[in-house]
Structure 1
């Protein structure tokens, strides 16, 4: 496996990196949707974060990457066969191609085995491979709607259910779903976009110095990946430690009723449809507080994540040319000043 580009070596793109860190700390956020220009480091950032995380412990020989400490039974009885044996494996990073069929995604009957032995055996798909890791879909706005529906349902439930070809299979599929796309090539339906927890916009840097630094770092990495990664080893470890501490701290972070009121008033003020916005805002603010080393969510935590949690849940207002991000920023300022 090649050396991944260091996460902390990515220049700029603060909002995208922060959203990915929050998703790594709080998987229940529901994934991240990244809209932006081509060549702005979207897939690089996701791969870098997956490569940054420490190896995970798995049951040897399990095709679903089961955790040894997981008490739920595995459909293949992997723990019974392996006993107390444990191995370490990299955090999965699965890149789902646009041309993937439903069988390739969810899994299907192992035809070769069925024809050779007459035994019906399930062949796991990409969802099983992504269990406990990341599932990345580039140009998700070009993916067939029924596959996007399926992926979002599995991402929320944490289980993949297959009922076909005489098979009835249910297996764990807990992954962080990351989608990216260019709005100029088509948009996701609002109903699907709303299912993503966070949404970020990524644009080509306009600052000349920043652009030059990006080119320098990419060139250095291409010529000497190992040496380049070593230069950022300390900052990578610091980020890894921050994620690990935030995960431990997260369940203990307190959210007061005043913060719930603030979140509800904010969602009402910007006209967010449904209640998924409030729930995502709560989880994102808690994750942000945990990453900041705090034990309680404050108003500034809500303000810091509001745009990411709500921008994709607003209806377009043709009379407001500031866009959804501007409307949210204005609403936050008014509520905090009140």
Structure 2
């Protein structure tokens, strides 16, 4: 291309995304995503539902909603300027040597993982030849490096190779990615919110992989005609005038963003009474949930919800609102049983907590 063919870039460089606060319905999915943003240690969300129900739109809207974060400039891992657990080795070494760092702000990254991605593309590669000839650890970062401190989205996760799902879940749980080739080892931070989506018609994830997702949201196509019309009209309005549509929701977007920031700050002060913790574990035991992940995630999610709603103490209602999201995918499947797993979780919750509900 000749120099004269280059065009002046447009003033609006950032692609406009449908606003999160404008999304109608799908409350279960939205709640699960918000709680994972408040506390990424919940372990991500698996969203299963019909095609065309706005899964991808909602996740992109969430990433766009989040406030900008401080990062070390030109760092491939989006390293945090002060938190050692979120820094690459180079930044940590620079701080140890009291070298100056350039700090900049950037939007929270959302990485789309393509279904055909190889392990090298996901984890990164080490240039062995360069490492041997020049004596340096020549590392080419992968998608896990780019996703650090952001969101990693895998559409149709149930079609992804099981080995890759394992790698993603390991990194999401530990917050680190390790690449080893020919005796050379590189480790870098990979703390991200893992979001997987899929259509149940195309098959389920293996139970041992499904169990490692913190929460599991099920979404259905909206049946009410009035709501369907509202969704169609909103989408048409956005496509016709994205800037104008965004400006109508600007105040709500900013308010929700401020709530999330406050909730993240408040999270460390939130407590949950011993009796409630015992009841959560009793629900898990009654449902015959394997391992302790269900107990841990339900505690975390209830705390995140309390923080989101401006409180420092978890209530029974907080637990009620998150328990199905946290446990429904951990129940043992009986192919002959037609009862929905969410109903079974509600029923056990109502019995243990002594709550009168629809499921009792």
Q: TM-score range by the shorter chain?
A: over 0.9
Confirm or deny that 1:76 pairs with 2:90. yes
Of 328, 348, 360, which aligns to 1:311? 328
What does 1:1-338 correspond to in 2, within 5 Å? 1-71=14-84, 74-77=88-91, 80=94, 83-110=100-127, 121-317=138-334, 320-337=337-354
Give me the CA root mean square deviation: 2.0
* Cα distance, 1:248 vs structure 2: 1.1
* Cα distance, 1:166 vs structure 2: 4.5
Per-residue deviation, residues 186-225 of structure 1 (Å, max 9, x unmatched)? 1100000000000000111001011111111111111111
Residues 1:40 and 1:112: Cα distance change in structure 2 (over 3 Å) = farther
* Cα distance, 1:110 vs structure 2: 4.1
Cα pair 1:136 1:179 within 8 Å, conserved:
yes
Cα pair 1:50 1:92 within 8 Å, conserved:
yes
Cα pair 1:109 1:123 within 8 Å, conserved:
yes
* Cα distance, 1:74 vs structure 2: 2.8
Q: Aligned partners of 1:155 and 1:120: how far apart in 2?
A: 24
* Cα distance, 1:83 vs structure 2: 1.2
- Tell me whether 215-224 or 266-275 shows the greater mean CA deviation: 266-275
Q: Aligned partners of 1:155 and 1:78: how far apart in 2?
A: 21
* Cα distance, 1:318 vs structure 2: 5.0
Q: Aligned partners of 1:196 and 1:40: how far apart in 2?
A: 21
Per-residue deviation, residues 1-56 of structure 1 (Å, max 9, x unmatched)? 20111001111000000000000001100000000011111111111111111111
Residues 1:207 and 1:112: Cα distance change in structure 2 (over 3 Å) = farther
Q: Aligned partners of 2:184 and 2:204: how far apart in 1?
A: 35
* Cα distance, 1:79 vs structure 2: 7.1
Q: Aligned partners of 2:269 and 2:15: how far apart in 1?
A: 37
Under a length normalisation based on structure 2, what TM-score does the superposition of the two structures give? 0.89
Cα pair 2:29 2:217 within 8 Å, conserved:
yes
* Cα distance, 1:287 vs structure 2: 0.7
Cα pair 2:73 2:103 within 8 Å, conserved:
yes
SS in 2 for 1:76: helix
* Cα distance, 1:71 vs structure 2: 3.4
Q: Aligned partners of 2:287 and 2:19: how far apart in 1?
A: 37
Cα pair 1:61 1:78 within 8 Å, conserved:
no
Larger Rg belongs to: 2
**Structure 2: any 5+ residue segments left out of the alignment?**
1-13, 356-360
Q: Aligned partners of 2:56 and 2:93: how far apart in 1?
A: 34
Cα pair 1:59 1:78 within 8 Å, conserved:
no
Q: Aligned partners of 1:226 and 1:50: how far apart in 2?
A: 18
Cα pair 2:46 2:213 within 8 Å, conserved:
yes
Under a length normalisation based on structure 1, what TM-score does the superposition of the two structures give? 0.95
* Cα distance, 1:274 vs structure 2: 1.6
